[in-house]
C-alpha cells in the first residue's frame, strides 16, 4: 500500500512540476517582446486568459492532492479539489465560447450562465481559502452576496434594481473588464508574472546564502550584530522575493537564532526579522506584486514608482537600524566579531552577488531606456540563465534552474487564486457604485480633514490586510478609499503609495500578522508578543506614509503633485532623520541612558511636530528636539562628573 502511495506521490509531483513549467513558458511567451520578426505571443486575449487560468487551476488542484499524499491535508480536501478542478475547466471552456461570441454581438445571460459563473467563483474561493486562509475568501463571498442582494440593503448601501442573472454572469466571469478573468487578472499575468518567475530564479541560483554570510561579515563590528545583519540581508533578499513570509522563512532560519544568542529576547528577534522581511516589498527595484499593479492603476511608468519609493524605503530600513542600536544599548549588548554557525564569506560569495545585482541593474537600465516592466524582467531572465553558471553549485546541477521555474509557476498559480477573490470584490464594488458612494459619504463626514481620511484608509488597510497578501489588501482598499483621498487633494500616486505602504505594514500588525507569526514560529516566541514588538520596531512603515501624504516632496517625483525643490527636500530629509532617532529612542526608552517618562513624552511630541506639514510646527519640533538633546547631554555630563568626584 505504501509503495502505491509513494508511486502516486511521484506521479502527482511530476505533473505539478510539468504544469508549473507550462505556466512559466506559456505566460512568458505571451508577454515576451518581439525579437525582429520572431514572436510567440501574445495569444488572443480570450483564449489566453481561459487556458492560462485552467493551467493554474489544474496545478493548484494537483498540489492539494499532493498535500494529501504527503499527509498535509485530508482526503476530503483532495476530493473536493479534484471535483472543483473539472468544474472550473468546464467554466473556462464556457468563458472562451461566450466571450468569443460577445465579439460578434450582444448576448443576454440566463440562469445557466449565472450558475456557471457562480461555480467558477466558488472554486476559486475554495482554493484561495486553502492557500491564503479564510479572510481573503470571505471577501469574495461577501462580494458575490452583495452583488446578488444589493437592492435589498438599507440606506446608501442599497443598489438599483437589476437582473441578477445578468449581473452575476457578467461581473463574475463573462467579461474581459470585470470578474475573475477581468482587467486585474490581465495586469497580473502581463506585468507581475515575469517578476514572480524572475524572483524564483534569483532565489534558485544560490546567491541567498552568500548574501547572508556577507551581511553578517559586514555587521560584525556592531553591537546589534546579527540583528543588523538580518535587516541588511532581508533588504537584499526581499527586493528579490517580494514576499514577507517567504523572506522570513528564507533568511530567518539563520538570523533569528543568532539574534537570540547575542542576548535579545525571542520576541524581539522575531520582530526584527519580520519587520525587515516585510520591508522587502517596498525595497526597489523589484518590490512586491502590489507595486507593479500600482503603476498600472496610477498610469505612470514603473520607473516613477521606483524613484518615488526610494527615499521612504531607505528611511524605513534606517529606522530599523536605529531601533536595534538603542535596544542594544538598553540591554548593554557589546560588539562581538564572531558569529557562530556562519562562515566567513569567500571570494565565490562575492562573485555570487553578481547573480543578484546584474539582473537588477539590467531591469533599472531598461526601464530608464523606456522598456516595459515585463520586457525588462524578461531581459534580466534571459541574462540570468547563462550567468548562473558562475555558481559552481549550478554548474554541478543545472536542474536547479528548472526546479526554480517550477517553484515560480506554482507560486504564481497560488497568487492567481487570491487575485480571483479580489477581482470578485472589485467587480462587486464597480457594479454597485460603492466607491463613489463611499467617497461622497467620507467627504461629507470629514469635510476638509485629510488626516481623518488618511486614518480611515489606514484602518481599512490594516483590517483588510489581516492574514491577506499585500496585493489583495492594496487593491481592495485602493478601489474603495482612494477616490475619497483624491477628492481631498492628494495626487493619485501619493494616495496609492499611502495605501501600498499601509497594506505592506499589515503583515506585522496584530492580531493577525502573518510575517510576525512566521518569525515567532522560528524564534519560539509568542505570536501576539512578536507581532506587538514587530509593530513597535517597524512603526515607521505606518508613520512614513502620513509624512509623504502631507509632504509629497518626499516622493521626489513631479507626479506627486509638487515640484521638486532641493533645499526644501534636504530639510525634509533632516526632519525625517531626526524624527526617526527621536521615535526610536522614545519607543526603546533608552538613548545613552534610560529615559524618564517625561523625556519619552517630549521626544514623541517633538517627532510628531517634525512629521507635521506646517513650517511653524517644524520649527517648534526641531527646537524641542535640540532642547531635549542638550538636556540629555547635560545629564550625561553631570553623571560623569559625579562619578569622577566620587
For residue 454, tell me if it sits in a domain.
Answer: no
Distance CA(319)–CA(576), nearest Å, equals 10
What is the maximum span of the chain, computed from C-alpha positions, in angstroms? 96
Distance CA(286)–CA(289), nearest Å, equals 8
Indicate if the pLDDT at residue 581 is higher than 70: yes
Q: Which residue has the higher pLDDT, 417 or 136?
A: 417
Q: What pLDDT, on a 0 to 100 scale, did the predictor assign at position 35?
A: 47
Q: What pLDDT, on a 0 to 100 scale, did the predictor assign at position 339?
A: 55
Residue in the block written with cell 512603515: 541
Asked if residues 362 and 382 have their Cβ atoms less than 8 Å apart, the reply is no
For residue 121, tell me if it sits in a domain.
Answer: yes
Distance CA(242)–CA(202), nearest Å, equals 11
For residue 508, tell me if it sits in a domain.
Answer: no
Q: Encode pLDDT of 542-568 as tens digits.
A: 999 999 988 899 999 888 888 888 898
For residue 639, tell me if it sits in a domain.
Answer: yes
> Which of 140, 168, 194 marks a domain boundary?
140
Asked if residues 58 and 89 have their Cβ atoms less than 8 Å apart, the reply is yes
Total domain count, the chain: 2
Query: Dihedral of the CA atoms 337, 581, 545, 526 (nearest 10)?
Result: 60
Q: What pLDDT, on a 0 to 100 scale, did the predictor assign at position 645?
A: 59
* Residues 6 or more apart in contact with residue 604 via CB below 8 angstroms: 582, 583, 586
Among the listed residues 618, 625, 548, 529, the one whose alpha carbon sits nearest the alpha carbon of residue 586: 625
Question: Which of 36-45, 48-57, 358-367, 482-491 has the lowest average pLDDT?
Answer: 36-45
Distance CA(272)–CA(278), nearest Å, equals 10
Query: Dihedral of the CA atoms 53, 59, 61, 66 (nearest 10)?
Result: -170
For residue 609, tell me if it sits in a domain.
Answer: yes
> Which of 140, 165, 188 marks a domain boundary?
140
Q: What pLDDT, on a 0 to 100 scale, did the predictor assign at position 90?
A: 94
What is the span of the domain harbouring residue 580? 568-646
Q: Encode pLDDT of 180-233 as tens digits.
A: 988 888 888 888 888 888 888 887 887 777 777 888 778 777 777 778 888 887
Q: What pLDDT, on a 0 to 100 scale, did the predictor assign at position 461?
A: 76
pLDDT band at 342 (very low <50, low <70, confident <90, very high): low
For residue 530, tell me if it sits in a domain.
Answer: no
Q: What pLDDT, on a 0 to 100 scale, did the predictor assign at position 611?
A: 84
Q: Encode pLDDT of 92-151 as tens digits.
A: 999 988 887 765 556 677 888 899 999 999 999 999 998 887 877 888 898 898 888 877
Percent of the chain with pLDDT over 70: 89
Q: What pLDDT, on a 0 to 100 scale, did the predictor assign at position 292?
A: 81
For residue 642, tell me if it sits in a domain.
Answer: yes
Mean local confidence (pLDDT), 318-326: 92
Q: What pLDDT, on a 0 to 100 scale, did the predictor assign at position 38?
A: 43
Distance CA(225)–CA(287), nearest Å, equals 26
Q: What pLDDT, on a 0 to 100 scale, did the predictor assign at position 103?
A: 59
Distance CA(516)–CA(508), nearest Å, equals 5
pLDDT band at 64 (very low <50, low <70, confident <90, very high): very high
Asked if residues 52 and 32 have their Cβ atoms less than 8 Å apart, the reply is no
Indicate the DSSP class of residue 594.
B
Q: Where are the alpha helices (DSSP H) in 32-110?
A: 45-69, 75-102
Spacing of C-alpha 347 from chain mean position: 33
Asked if residues 333 and 262 have their Cβ atoms less than 8 Å apart, the reply is yes
Q: Where are the alpha helices (DSSP H) in 447-564?
A: 450-465, 470-487, 492-505, 514-523, 527-537, 540-550
* Length reported for the chain: 646
Pick from 16-30, 402-416, 422-436, 475-489 the range whose average pLDDT is largest.
402-416
Q: Encode pLDDT of 472-484 as tens digits.
A: 778 877 777 787 7
For residue 643, tell me if it sits in a domain.
Answer: yes
> Which of 140, 162, 186 marks a domain boundary?
140
Burial of 18 (0-12, 13-18, 19+ CB in 10 A): middle
pLDDT band at 354 (very low <50, low <70, confident <90, very high): confident
SS3 label, residue 590:
strand
**Residue-averaged pLDDT of the chain:** 83
Asked if residues 261 and 527 have their Cβ atoms less than 8 Å apart, the reply is no
Q: What pLDDT, on a 0 to 100 scale, did the predictor assign at position 340?
A: 57
Distance CA(380)–CA(357), nearest Å, equals 10
Indicate if the pLDDT at residue 37 is higher than 60: no
Burial of 634 (0-12, 13-18, 19+ CB in 10 A): exposed
Indicate if the pLDDT at residue 316 is higher than 90: yes
pTM for the full model? 0.84
Distance CA(534)–CA(278), nearest Å, equals 10
Mean local confidence (pLDDT), 572-595: 91
Amino acid at each position: 500500500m505504501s509503495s502505491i502511495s509513494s508511486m502516486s506521490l511521484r506521479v502527482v509531483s511530476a505533473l505539478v512540476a510539468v504544469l508549473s513549467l507550462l505556466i512559466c513558458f506559456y505566460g512568458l511567451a505571451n508577454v515576451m517582446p518581439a525579437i525582429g520578426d520572431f514572436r510567440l505571443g501574445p495569444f488572443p486575449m480570450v483564449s489566453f486568459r481561459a487556458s492560462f487560468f485552467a493551467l493554474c487551476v489544474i496545478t493548484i488542484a494537483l498540489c492539494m492532492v499532493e498535500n494529501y499524499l504527503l499527509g498535509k491535508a485530508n482526503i476530503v480536501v483532495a476530493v473536493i479539489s479534484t471535483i472543483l478542478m473539472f468544474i472550473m475547466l468546464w467554466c473556462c471552456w464556457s468563458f472562451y465560447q461566450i466571450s468569443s461570441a460577445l465579439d460578434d454581438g450582444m448576448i443576454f445571460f440566463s440562469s445557466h450562465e449565472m450558475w456557471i459563473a457562480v461555480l467558477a467563483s466558488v472554486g476559486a474561493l475554495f482554493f484561495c481559502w486553502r492557500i491564503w486562509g479564510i479572510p481573503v475568501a470571505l471577501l469574495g463571498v461577501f462580494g458575490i452576496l452583495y452583488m446578488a442582494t444589493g437592492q435589498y440593503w438599507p440606506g446608501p448601501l442599497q443598489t438599483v434594481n437589476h437582473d441578477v442573472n445578468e449581473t452575476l454572469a457578467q461581473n463574475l466571469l463573462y467579461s474581459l473588464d470585470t470578474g475573475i478573468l477581468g482587467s486585474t487578472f490581465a495586469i497580473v499575468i502581463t506585468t507581475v508574472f515575469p517578476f514572480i518567475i524572475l524572483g524564483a530564479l534569483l532565489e534558485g541560483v544560490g546567491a541567498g546564502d552568500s548574501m547572508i554570510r556577507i551581511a553578517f561579515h559586514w555587521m560584525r563590528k556592531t553591537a546589534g550584530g546579527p540583528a543588523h545583519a538580518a535587516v541588511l540581508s532581508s533588504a537584499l533578499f526581499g527586493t528579490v522575493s517580494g514576499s514577507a513570509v517567504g523572506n522570513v522563512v528564507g533568511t530567518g532560519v539563520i538570523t533569528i537564532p543568532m539574534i537570540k544568542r547575542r542576548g535579545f529576547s525571542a520576541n524581539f528577534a522575531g520582530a526584527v526579522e519580520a519587520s525587515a522581511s516585510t520591508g522587502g516589498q517596498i525595497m526597489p527595484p523589484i518590490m512586491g506584486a502590489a507595486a507593479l499593479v500600482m503603476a498600472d492603476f496610477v498610469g505612470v511608468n514603473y520607473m516613477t514608482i521606483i524613484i518615488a519609493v526610494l527615499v521612504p524605503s531607505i528611511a524605513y530600513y534606517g529606522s530599523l537600524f536605529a531601533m536595534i542600536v538603542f535596544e542594544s544599548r538598553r540591554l548593554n549588548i557589546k560588539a562581538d566579531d564572531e558569529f557562530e554557525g556562519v562562515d566567513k564569506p569567500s571570494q565565490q560569495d562575492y562573485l555570487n552577488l553578481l547573480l543578484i545585482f546584474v539582473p537588477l541593474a539590467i531591469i533599472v537600465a531598461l526601464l530608464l531606456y523606456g522598456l516595459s516592466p515585463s520586457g525588462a524582467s524578461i531581459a534580466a531572465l534571459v541574462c540570468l540563465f547563462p550567468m548562473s553558471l558562475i555558481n559552481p553549485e549550478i554548474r554541478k546541477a543545472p536542474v536547479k534552474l528548472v526546479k526554480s521555474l517550477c517553484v515560480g509557476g506554482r507560486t504564481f498559480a497560488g497568487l492567481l487564486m487570491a487575485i480571483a477573490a479580489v477581482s470578485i470584490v472589485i467587480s462587486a464594488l464597480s457594479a454597485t457604485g460603492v466607491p463613489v458612494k463611499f467617497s461622497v459619504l467620507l467627504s461629507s463626514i470629514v469635510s476638509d480633514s485629510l488626516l481623518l481620511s488618511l486614518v480611515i484608509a489606514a484602518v481599512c488597510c490594516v483590517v483588510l490586510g489581516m492574514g491577506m497578501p499585500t496585493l489583495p489588501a492594496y487593491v481592495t482598499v485602493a478601489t474603495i478609499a482612494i477616490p475619497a483621498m483624491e477628492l481631498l487633494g492628494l495626487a493619485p500616486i501619493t494616495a496609492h503609495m499611502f495605501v501600498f505602504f499601509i497594506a505592506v505594514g499589515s503583515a506585522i500588525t496584530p492580531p493577525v500578522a502573518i510575517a510576525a507569526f512566521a518569525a515567532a514560529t522560528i524564534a519560539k516566541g509568542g505570536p501576539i508578543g512578536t507581532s506587538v514588538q514587530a509593530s513597535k520596531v517597524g512603526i515607521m512603515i505606518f508613520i512614513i506614509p502620513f509624512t509623504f501624504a502631507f509632504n509629497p516632496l518626499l516622493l521626489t517625483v513631479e507626479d506627486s503633485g509638487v515640484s521638486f525643490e532641493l533645499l526644501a527636500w534636504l530639510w525634509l530629509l533632516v526632519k525625517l532623520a531626526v524624527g526617526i532617532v527621536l521615535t526610536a529612542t522614545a519607543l526603546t526608552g533608552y538613548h545613552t541612558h534610560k529615559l524618564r517618562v517625561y523625556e519619552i513624552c517630549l521626544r514623541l511630541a517633538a517627532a510628531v511636530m517634525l512629521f507635521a506639514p506646517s513650517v511653524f510646527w517644524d520649527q517648534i519640533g526641531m527646537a524641542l528636539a535640540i532642547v531635549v538633546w542638550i538636556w540629555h547631554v547635560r545629564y550625561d555630563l553631570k553623571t560623569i562628573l559625579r562619578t569622577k568626584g566620587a
